[in-house]
A and B are shown apart, each in its own frame.
Chain A
Amino acid sequence: MDLWNIFDTEWIPVGTWVESALQWVVVNFRFIFQAIKVPFDLVLTALEDGLTQAPDLLVLAIIILIAWQAGGRKLGLIAAACMTAIGLMGAWEESMTTLSIVLTCVVFCSLIGIPLGVIAAKRDRFWMVLQPLLDLMQTIPSFVYLVPIVMLFSIGNVSGVIVTFIYALPPVVRLTNLGIRQVRPDMVEAARAFGASNRQTLYKVELPLAMPTIMAGVNQTIMMALSMVVVSSMISVTGLGQMVLRGIGRLDMGLATVGGLGIVFLAIVIDRVSQSFGTSSRARNHQKWYETGPVGAVRTLVRK
């Protein structure tokens, strides 16, 4: 053995260990991971079927109406322009697939991330354990966990949602935690002083006051999910990401550009709409959401 070049030998076979551990998990516990897929699969299939099978123009109209409702007429126009552009470029079908993946991911990130954030805000010890985990989820390059994800969940759109979920979960947890912790203590104290239980304090005072911050977290989560679109297409996730990937593979600049532009336009629309959901009614002159936008217009028409 050459003592001067001891590192030629692999002394600690980390790779082999991980591999055999993973093999063992795959052989013995695959059913668990298949079960985890079920809820993701259900939501994703429902959304995807809805968005791709409905007439394109109907979907377009609904998106525009939602944007108008959320952020006023101007946002409605932006949404109309972006979505029409995607459609005219011939990327409509793919963008609907991507949209349904992103939305599924947001649904699960919110369902799991907001409660986690609330618990973290209430219990310092839990937060101390959770924090490094979140750091890990955000800093491990997503390429690294593509392989185990594929082995455990196999390839396809549902696995794509799961990869995206892992990557996009941290911001909503972090900002929910932050939002709840930042609620003015005397607001909480006042609720308790008037006889509210912990649960009532949470639902009636803390969550509503933390909502703008929580929605900023959801918005961040959405943006992270969108940024995973191309990466996740490597495990055969369809949609705009795949257009880009195929374009790169075949050196087809046109295809890659269409996919890329599609992602940008979609991102603009989703970002703006989710941001406007976050502005509180206080910032909108105390108008309730149903007093503005298309719903407000319909309501005033009906009243007359």
Chain B
Amino acid sequence: MSEAQIECRDLWKIYGKRSDEAMKAVLTEGLSKDEVRDRFGCVLGVRNASFSVSKGEIFCIMGLSGSGKSTLVRHVNRLIEPTSGEIHVAGRRVDTMAEDALRQLRAETIGMVFQHMALWPHRTLGENVGFGLEVRGVALPERRKSAEAALAAMELSGWIDHYPDQLSGGMQQRVGLARALAADPEILLMDEPFSALDPLIRRQLQDQFLNLSTHMDKTTLFITHDLDEAIRMGDHIAIMNDGEIVQIGTPEEIVTNPVDDYVADFVKGISRVSLVRAETIMEPMNGRAHTPKHVRTDAELGEIIDNFMDDQSPVTVVDPEKAPVGLITIKAALTALRG
């Protein structure tokens, strides 16, 4: 894929002194995470992960606590050195990059938001947001101007000379977002940015971010442990378990087609009403007559069910040219709803 903005190939990370030994043993004997820990005292952080994120999309990574999500994203700007594997960002290879080039990449191309905000308490919001520019040697007036703009985009104008501890949690996380956006990077790494917030503010920030990202065409790697959030935000979702990516797909694919019990467990409680589309549940026409009721191929399950309210005969699915392509019976619709 040539337009991949972030691409990782066969990425491994084993924490600990004896990581090379452990790596060999894992490759030859296929040890599990616990076996690696007991035999080598090393922690298997990421196991053979490959994924690619194309330009402009939001790619969610989700999994239980300790499944290696944070470890995985930190490889993209190489805050963590991989044990083996390749990382490509914006067409450049990161894992072999020299220190200077790497710093420039971090400052100009990649913005990052942290789970616990990680705002520096001794710096004003302006100084926090302008930090990336400051370390690149940009002059103060210019720094301040972009900090003002970034804060304004997060509806925080007027707070520039205040300190982080004078703000509420939601405001602080918006500052974290403003800091990541200040240098106008192409890529955003977000490590559970909204997890520490209460549901109402979380929803509001999700909307604000979605709105922003559709306007600004950023490529985002978004970590969350909340599937609802992943489905709301993500164009694609990768599910991690014990350091391994077990499934990558669109929200619909993940929900309708979980590869194993671990993923199935995740998606159990998820409402399918707005996820499942007509084309995935329709049956072939097979010469059956088409009924007066019809929906488009991309109609959501909710809309299909509405069609069964008054009369329970099958619904015809039509393509954009209005030609019938399939049928949906009430049984198929209800099965899809139940999952």
| 27 A-B residue pairings within 8 Å (CB atoms) | A186-B114, A186-B116, A187-B118, A187-B120, A189-B79, A190-B118, A190-B120, A191-B135, A192-B79, A192-B106, A193-B77, A193-B79, A193-B110, A194-B107, A194-B131, A194-B135, A194-B183, A195-B135, A196-B103, A197-B103, A208-B120, A208-B122, A282-B121, A282-B163, A282-B165, A286-B163, A286-B166
A-B contacts, CB under 8 A, total: 66
A184 CB contacts on chain B under 8 angstroms? 118
User: Does the CB pair B135–A190 fall under 8 Å?
Assistant: no
A195:B122 contact, CB within 8 angstroms: no
How near does chain B come to A128, taking the closest CB pair, in angstroms?
Answer: 16
- B34 CB to closest chain A CB (Å) equals 25
Asked whether A195 and B116 contact (CB < 8 A) given A280-B122, A282-B163, A282-B165, the answer is: no
Do B103 and A195 touch (CB < 8 A)? yes
B71-126 interface (Cβ within 8 A of A): 77, 79, 103-108, 110, 112, 114, 116, 118-122
Beta-carbon contacts under 8 Å, A196-215 to B: 196-197, 200, 204-205, 208-209
Q: Which residues of B contact A197 (CB under 8 A)?
A: 103, 135
Interface flag for B132 (CB, 8 Å): yes
**Distance A204 CA – B77 CA, assembled complex (angstroms):** 21
CB contacts (< 8 Å) of B165 on chain A: these are 282
**What's the minimum C-beta distance from A183 to chain B, rounded to whole angstroms?**
10
Q: Majority SS of interface residues in chain B?
A: mixed
A264 CB, min distance to chain B CBs, angstroms: 35
CB contacts (< 8 Å) of B118 on chain A: these are: 184, 186-187, 189-190
Q: Is B136 an interface residue (CB 8 A)?
A: yes
B104 to chain A, nearest CB (A): 7
* Chain B residues positioned under 8 Å from A280 (CB to CB): 122
User: In the complex, what distance in Å separates the CA atom of A208 from the CA atom of B124?
Assistant: 13
Q: What residues of chain B lie closer than 8 Å to A196, measured between beta carbons?
A: 103, 131, 135
Taking A184-B118, A186-B114, A197-B103 as known contacts, 5 extra A-B pairs with beta carbons closer than 8 A to each other, sorted by chain A number, are A190-B114, A191-B131, A194-B183, A195-B104, A196-B103
Q: A166 CB to closest chain B CB, in angstroms?
A: 33
Please give, as numbers and ranges, the residues of chain B lying within 8 Å of A186 by CB-CB distance: 114, 116, 118
B interface residue count range (under 10 / 10 to 19 / 20 to 34 / 35 or more): 20 to 34
Q: How large is the interface on A (under 10, 10 to 19, 20 to 34, 35 or more residues)?
A: 20 to 34
Complex: A187 Cα to B119 Cα, angstroms: 7
Q: Let me know if B107 and A195 touch, CB within 8 A.
A: yes
A192 to B132 Cα, complex, angstroms: 10
Inter-chain contacts of B189 with A (CB < 8 A): 193
Question: What is the CA–CA distance of A189 and B118 in the complex, to the nearest angstrom?
Answer: 9
CB within 8 A of B112: which of A187, A190, A204? Answer: A190
A residues within 8 A CB of B112?
190, 193-194
What residues of chain A lie closer than 8 Å to B121, measured between beta carbons? Answer: 209, 282
B124 nearest CB across to chain A (Å)? 8
The answer to whether B120 touches A205 (Cβ under 8 A) is yes
A205–B131 Cα gap in the complex (Å)? Answer: 10
* Chain A residues positioned under 8 Å from B132 (CB to CB): 194-195
Bound state CA distance, A208 and B120, in angstroms?
10
A192 to B189, alpha carbons, bound, how many Å? 14
Residue of A190, A282, A286 most packed against chain B (CB within 10 A): A190
Q: Which residue of B lies closest to A211 (CB)?
A: B122
Shortest CB-to-CB span from A207 to chain B, Å, is: 10
CB-CB contacts below 8 Å: A20-74 with B: none
Chain B 302-332 against A: per-residue CB contact (8 Å), 1 yes, 0 no? Answer: 0000000000000000000000000000000
* Interchain CA distance A281-B161 in the complex, whole Å: 14
Please measure, in the bound complex, the distance between the C-alpha atom of A191 and the C-alpha atom of B106, giving whole angstroms: 10
Q: With A and B bound together, what is the CA distance between A190 and B114 in angstroms?
A: 8
Choose one: B114, B122, B135; the contact of A282 (CB below 8 Å). B122
